[in-house]
Amino acid sequence: MNRRSFLYRHAIRSVIVFRALQLGDMLCAVPALRALRAALPDALVVLTGLPWAAQFARRFDAYVNEFIPFPGHPLLPEQAVHHDGLPSYYAAICDRGFDLALQLHGSGDVTNHIVAGFGARAMAGFTRGEASQTDRTLLLPYPEAGAEQERLLTLLDRLGAPDAGTQLEFPVRREDIDELEASNAAPDLEPGNYICIHPGARTRDKCWPPERFAEVADQLKQEFGLDTVLTGSAAEAPLARAVAQHMRTPAIEAAAPISIGAMAALMSRARLLICNDTGVSHIAAGLGLSSVVVFSKADIARWAPLDRQRHRCIWDPAAERAAVVLQHARALLTGTAPSGQRAAGMWPYW
């Protein structure tokens, strides 16, 4: 580590990281957490975020030692605010006396005030507008371009952390496999002989229509003979059922009350994932599972996986490009470039 770097100057022994977001956003922060751990191998790293992310912290325990649930904030939309828990939340964090509070939650318009309330000896993060640096504070202009993990890594680089790569991760553990097998959600599947279709997303306005997923699934079944597994949470079971009802070929409906880890175990044995722009696309990137991701609203440059050859991202807000989705699914299943692509990597999106 550079002796003049922010991290070195402050002799960091404990860090609290704030990122109170959902699955895909959290997975995109893994490279930044990996860089932080590479810089501070012996430091205590505590993550504070949405309550669900306790399981994220357990999965990534190589980078995170502890988790503290965040009670919410009136100006952050991800969860309702638990006002009764706010005083004890801030008091408990201040009592810990962290050496560094790291704001990894966007431009800081709201979150810098939250993180400043942690009472750490030093603070770093992003800000809107000009950079601000003092002996104990480093706020960088929030990057308005680039993939999410690259944006976050600009801060870690400036802090003095070593380059630890931009690749995502999603470790599948023995308990994930055991849970999947015990659930009987998708029995008797031969590894490598099925594709996963995940028709859901956190909001329905990001979802490709069930009939489009069905059209693609039927064609791939006809051409490649691969089984179709419809994945999702228990709440997404009606959506998986709608896809199955539009299909002419059989499908295995695996939208079930299983954990994210068990779903990842199911996906890890598949040949391909076809999904909306949602958290499972980042699971696929972490697993090294080829995917076709349909975008309809989000910033595709920010949220598309970085490997444009393994992960094909299609812009289709009007739900009229099933033929393009099929084209790229075929290319991934056969290991060929899509027809009309004159050179590998010529276009990052389709």
pLDDT digits (tens, 9 = 90+) for 33-79: 999 999 999 999 999 999 999 999 999 999 999 999 999 999 999 99
Whole-number pLDDT of residue 317: 94
- Cα–Cα dist 278/274, whole Å: 11
Query: By the 8 A CB rule, do 19 and 224 touch?
Result: no
Whole-number pLDDT of residue 346: 37
Q: What is the DSSP letter of 43?
A: S
Asked if the model's pLDDT at residue 176 lies above 90, the reply is yes
Whole-number pLDDT of residue 1: 47
- Cα–Cα dist 336/331, whole Å: 5
Whole-number pLDDT of residue 278: 93
Compute the Cα dihedral for 73, 261, 186, 219 and give only its sign.
Answer: positive
Whole-number pLDDT of residue 344: 39
245: Cβ contacts below 8 Å, ≥ 6 apart: 210
Average pLDDT, the chain: 93
With cut-offs at 50, 70 and 90, classify the pLDDT of residue 337: low
Asked if the model's pLDDT at residue 172 lies above 90, the reply is yes
CB atoms inside a 10 Å sphere around CB 347: 11
- Cα–Cα dist 315/36, whole Å: 34
Segment 116-126 shows an average pLDDT of: 97
Burial of residue 230, with CB atoms counted within 10 A of its CB: 0-12 exposed, 13-18 middle, 19 or more buried: buried
Whole-number pLDDT of residue 261: 97
The CA-atom distances, in angstroms, between 276 and each of 208, 221, 330, 340 are 7, 20, 18, 24
Read off the pLDDT of residues 268-284 as tens digits, 9 standing for 90 and up: 999 999 999 999 999 99
**112: its two tokens:** 């810098």
Query: By the 8 A CB rule, do 18 and 114 touch?
Result: yes
- Cα–Cα dist 172/262, whole Å: 8
SS3 for 154-212 is HHHHHHCCCCCCCCCCCCCCHHHHHHHHHHCCCCCCCCCCEEEEECCCCCHHHCCCHHH
- Cα–Cα dist 226/228, whole Å: 6
With cut-offs at 50, 70 and 90, classify the pLDDT of residue 145: very high
Asked if the model's pLDDT at residue 4 lies above 80, the reply is no
Segment 204-230 shows an average pLDDT of: 95
Asked if the model's pLDDT at residue 350 lies above 80, the reply is no
- Cα–Cα dist 113/101, whole Å: 12
- pLDDT above 90 coverage of the chain, percent: 87
Whole-number pLDDT of residue 111: 97
Task: Compute the half-sphere exposure of residue 331: CA atoms within 13 Å on the CB side of its CA.
Answer: 20
Whole-number pLDDT of residue 235: 93
Which of these, 190, 191, 176, 169, lies nearest to 265 by C-alpha position? 176
Total count of residues recorded for the chain: 350
Segment 121-144 shows an average pLDDT of: 93
- pLDDT above 70 coverage of the chain, percent: 95
Coil vs helix vs strand at 272: strand
- Alpha carbon 225 to its chain's center: 30
Q: Across the chain, how many H-helices and E-strands are there?
A: 14, 13
- From first CA to last CA, the distance across the chain in angstroms is 40
Right CATH for 6-159 from 3.30.360.10, 3.40.50.2000, 3.40.50.300, 3.20.80.10: 3.40.50.2000
- Cα–Cα dist 240/255, whole Å: 7
Looking at residue 193, its amino acid is N
Sequence spans of domains, the chain: 6-159, 174-334
- Cα–Cα dist 112/107, whole Å: 8
Q: Do domains 6-159 and 174-334 have the same CATH topology?
A: yes
Residue entry with tokens 């009987």:
184
Whole-number pLDDT of residue 345: 38
Is 174-334 in CATH node 3.40.50.11540?
Answer: no
Asked if the model's pLDDT at residue 318 lies above 90, the reply is yes
With cut-offs at 50, 70 and 90, classify the pLDDT of residue 141: very high
User: Which spans in 232-293 are helix H?
Assistant: 237-246, 260-268, 279-287
Whole-structure pTM value:
0.93
